[in-house]
Structure 1
């Protein structure tokens, strides 16, 4: 007997240095959805300055098309860009053009973090929000991240940049340091905490911190995957993944 066709083949693209996108998005799959993963061939170079950040971004953008081309034979129905830097450093119109180019190359819809997180905030609140941001970036990335939310009309009350010294090091930031940073970002004037950086394994911790702090704590990988599913009409309620997956 022939097996049923999958509901959706989800292409997932992440940098070669990223060890968090694949396991986190595998854990988020509803029944009948298959993830096909591709890697951007980026080096794990030292990041100690804004200039280093820009160089890392350039290497990832240059490798993005090669990663997408490895997915083309599988013909995914949707593609998730599990990478943050080029969406913030040189984002805005440049980021939108990059996403549009990816969609044209793949012949399907593409989800990026910028549109995903703004959609999540709209669904959760239905209005502009006072936010705290947690990033792994150097200052140039933090400035661009702040601009993303402020240009959309949200208020960034607090921001903590953890200044990971390389792309791979984002995944090795100690858990206790991240937990303390999230606690420091909370406060009576803050309505939600947003984590940026797809190489941080933040999915489970975000749910724990939501329970502790009593406010939405949004992790980048679940937000990306939720948005992609909803854009394809997959609306399974999965409360084990947080409030967003019930909406």
Structure 2
């Protein structure tokens, strides 16, 4: 079969919120030769002064528009799909994640990597992880959904931090210093690993450095999701500088 000139190994269709400015460069940074990423924007009005209530309502809007983005990206005939938005993949625990995957597959006929299950696969790859800490740019109502999901998957969330960003675009404006402070506050002898969720939060490089400081897994969701997509497609290239997950597993 003839292959795409640049994406001769795989064409990845990526769905992400139209407000998200971090996923696309993050995924391109981790892209090995012969794999190309094709971004389809999920129409997302930029929420302002987000609260628990408006955050949840905004996520429901994004979730409702996701399948339109799937239909759009399918016109480039991708081989595989990658979800560049994580919150909708944590709603309603493990069964919600499975339901979301089924909906995408019904529309596309393709398999998809999603943030929730990718983080679970990453934690399992490291091995020996039972107790985790989580931080996000979300509001507490969403962190509760993340905690519920990881509980369904057999992990205990010891503590969490929700940065409570005030707009969707504001998530991409969170400085590395603030993320590093959150990691330090979450760490402890009772935590086996730290997981960052929220794909518009720039964390891949910082998480890789934090693994060296702390001597334990620090998983950035963008790294976990892209790693999962690569490995699901039999692409075993090691990507340096983006954490142990992409370098060792």
Give the whole-Å Cα distance in 1 for the aligned partners of 2:25 and 2:244: 20
**Residue in 2 aligned with 1:193?**
194
Contact 1:92–1:148 (CA under 8 A) maintained in structure 2: yes
1:161 aligns to what? 162
Quick one: distance in 1 between partners of 2:183 and 2:206? 10
CA contact (8 A) 2:209 2:243 kept: no
User: Partner residue of 2:46?
Assistant: 44
**Correspondence for 1:179:** 180
SS at match of 2:205: helix
Secondary structure of 2:199 counterpart: coil
Cα deviation for residue 25 of structure 1 reads: 0.1
Q: From the superposition, tell whether residues 184 and 70 of structure 1 become closer, same or farther in structure 2 (CA, over 3 Å).
A: same
Moved more, 54-63 or 196-205: 54-63
Aligned match of 1:21: 23
Unaligned regions of 5+ residues in structure 2, if any? none
Partner Cα distance (1:204, 1:130) in 2: 23
Matching of residue 74 in structure 1 with residue 67 in structure 2? no
8 Å CA contact 2:204–2:243 kept in 1: the answer is no
Q: Distance in 2 between matches of 1:15 and 1:160?
A: 23
> Aligned residue for 1:118?
120
Which stretches of structure 1, 4 residues or more, deviate above 4 A after TM superposition?
2-5
Distance in 1 (alpha carbons) for counterparts of 2:188 and 2:100: 36
Which whole-Å CA distance do the structure 1 matches of 2:158 and 2:101 have between them?
Answer: 28
8 Å Cα contact 1:54-1:89 kept in structure 2 = no
| Structure 1: unaligned runs, 5 residues or longer | none
1:147 is aligned to 148
Aligned counterparts of 2:227 and 2:191: Cα–Cα separation in 1:
23
Partners of 1:162 and 1:77 in 2: CA distance: 35
Aligned-residue CA RMSD (Å): 1.6
Q: Identify the range of structure 1 (201-210 vs 92-101) with the bigger mean alpha-carbon deviation.
A: 92-101
Question: Normalising to structure 2: TM-score of the pair?
Answer: 0.93
Q: Distance in 2 between matches of 1:82 and 1:227?
A: 12
Deviation at 1:74, TM superposition (A): 0.9
Aligned counterparts of 1:72 and 1:135: Cα–Cα separation in 2: 30
Q: 1:161 Cα deviation (Å)?
A: 0.8
Q: Equivalent residue for 1:92? A: 94
Q: Give the deviation of 1:128 after TM superposition.
A: 4.5
